[in-house]
Amino acid sequence: MDVTDNIVVLDAYVSNAGDMHWDALQRLAPCKMWDRTAPSEVVERAAQATIVLTNKVCIDEPLMAQLPHLRYIGVMATGYNIVDVAAACRRGIVVTNVPAYSTASVAQLTIAHLLNISCQVHHYALESRQGVWSRNPDFSYVNTAVFEMAGKTLGIVGLGQIGSAVARIALAMGMRVQALTSKSPQTLAAMGVTAAPSLQHLLATSDVVSLHCPLTAANRHVIDAAALACMKPTAILLNTSRGPLVDEAALAHALRTGGIMAAGIDVMEQEPPRLDNELLQLSNCYVTPHIGWATTEARQRMMDIIVANVAAFLSGHPINVLIN
């Protein structure tokens, strides 16, 4: 290892709130941890760093130009739109990410949103806590529609590792699954999944639409007013992927006016969201604060891969390298 190598972690708290250890990383090279770093603080804090680790702190080309020792950027997540990978490649800076660490966790939360909406788990738990059931004259208390998922159609946009995991769970629940994907018909047939010929077809024929695609310039607001208008008024939209895939104003309007029945979302266009974001107030929109990735097991896998990525880079054989 080059003795001049040193590590700066720009936003350590979001990955490790104190319930895990950074010991394995700190054994690789001198390491400075910052819980959070504002954009204006990056240059000062990383000025001497050869290795920078970031989860949500953006690193673009102008910033790279001010970090003359930088040789490696480790994204402590799967999505890497916070880094200008093309600029890094031009400058000879290696960029890595942490692939596939949260597949089971995000799939689990996706289905949790679906089951919460279909069975109204949160509603009835709250009603019971407030004594509504205790005051009811009958043994069972039902004041909303609850419905089965068996026999319903799930449309998945993006059939990568997480989308495939969601498909497996949905099939086990007795759902029909169709997907908008580049996977071959043979692969889909083996999975028990049907190929959707178009996004419009998927939206129009699915009882539940779940987004599991990366965010690109081409698919920003892929779920907009026109897309929502294609969906059934009884449909459910799930987004545990990337917030900007959905036009939030259009979604709020559709939920408020009966364009679709409900939404379960774990990601938003701005995080944290503004207090006046209408989606936070709508009774048929169920928002969790970007927790799909945050199970103990997923975060431990993430920490292990972060350390493995840095160790591999220092050995001269980097892994999980992003290439523009």
- pLDDT single digits (tens) 120-176: 999 999 999 999 999 999 999 999 999 999 999 999 999 999 999 999 999 999 999
Percent of the chain whose pLDDT exceeds 70: 99
176, 212, 290, 299: the catalytic one is 290
pLDDT for position 67: 97
Beta bridge partners of 94: 72
Residue 3 clears pLDDT 50, i.e. is over it: no
Rounded Cα distance, 310 and 5, in Å: 11
pLDDT tens digit sequence for 20-32: 889 999 999 999 9
Joined together, the tokens standing for residue 281 give 């107030």
Residue 2 clears pLDDT 50, i.e. is over it: no
Joined together, the tokens standing for residue 261 give 């029945």
41, 271, 274, 297: the catalytic one is 271
- Residue 1 binned pLDDT confidence (cut-offs 50, 70, 90): very low
71, 113, 176, 242: the catalytic one is 242
- Domain 7-99+296-314 and domain 103-287 have a common topology: yes
pLDDT for position 79: 87
CATH assignment, 7-99+296-314:
3.40.50.720
pTM of full prediction above 0.75: yes
pLDDT for position 254: 98
**Pseudo-torsion of CA 44, 49, 51, 53, nearest 10°?**
-20
> Which sequence spans correspond to the domains of the chain?
7-99+296-314, 103-287
Q: Is 290 a catalytic site residue? A: yes
Dihedrals φ, ψ of 136, to 5°? -80, 140
Rounded Cα distance, 94 and 85, in Å: 9
Class of domain 103-287: alpha beta
Average pLDDT for 55-67: 97
Q: Is 263 left (phi over 0), alpha (psi -120 to 50) or beta?
A: beta
DSSP E strand boundaries for 129-204: 153-157, 176-180, 194-195
